[in-house]
Amino acid sequence: MKHKGLFLLFIGLVLSDQLSKQIFMSSFELGQSMVLNQYLSWTYLHNTGAAFSILSDGGAIQKLFLLGVSTLVSLWIVWWTQRTPDIYRQKLLGQFFLLSGAVGNLIDRALHGFVIDFIDLHVNSFYWPVFNLADSFIFIGVALIIFERKSSTK
């Protein structure tokens, strides 16, 4: 199997994402928030839409659409990783972080019809939209891929 170590990382990241979401589903009421410090709270929410709750007003068709898009994107990332040469280690790492986040949220959509969010960052009156570990993995993956592209053009 190509990229065996990265597939093990993928499994670990997806499991950590799913475990963290299960903890919040079993420990918090929907909408419940717990302030940890002036910058971070745990706030348990359901996101029926895409990033930043885009398309969250739709019904069953919208849920099926987002599930289909999530599935296609995840499959495309797997295809992309298999076509990426081993010399691009950072890019591959980024792709696997991206895949881990995509699959973590895909599992939520398939099982629940929504994505479980709980990380609530804020500074004074500015609140970032509540997110989860899978969203963080997507961000990290994109950053690693972008950085690799810039460094490979030197």
pLDDT digits (tens, 9 = 90+) for 13-50: 999 999 999 999 999 999 999 999 999 999 999 987 65
- Nearest-angstrom CA–CA distance, 135 and 101: 6
Residue 86 bears catalytic tag:
no
Q: Which helix (H) or strand (E) holds 145?
A: helix 133-152
Is 117 tagged catalytic?
yes
Instruction: Exactly one of 17, 108, 117, 120 is catalytic; name it.
Output: 117
Q: What is the pLDDT of residue 59?
A: 61
Cβ neighbours of 65 (radius 10 Å):
13
Give the chain's length.
154
Range 92-95 contact pairs with CB under 8 angstroms and sequence separation of 24 or more:
92/3, 92/6, 93/6, 93/9, 93/144, 94/140, 94/141, 94/142, 94/143, 94/144, 94/145, 94/147, 94/148, 95/141, 95/145
Q: Is the pLDDT of residue 154 over 50?
A: no
Catalytic, out of 17, 108, 120, 135 = 135
How does pLDDT run across 89-148, given as a tens digit for each residue? 999 999 999 999 999 999 998 999 889 999 999 998 888 999 999 999 999 999 999 987
pLDDT tops 60 at residue 55? no
pTM listed for this prediction: 0.85
Q: What mean pLDDT comes out for the span 81-91? A: 92
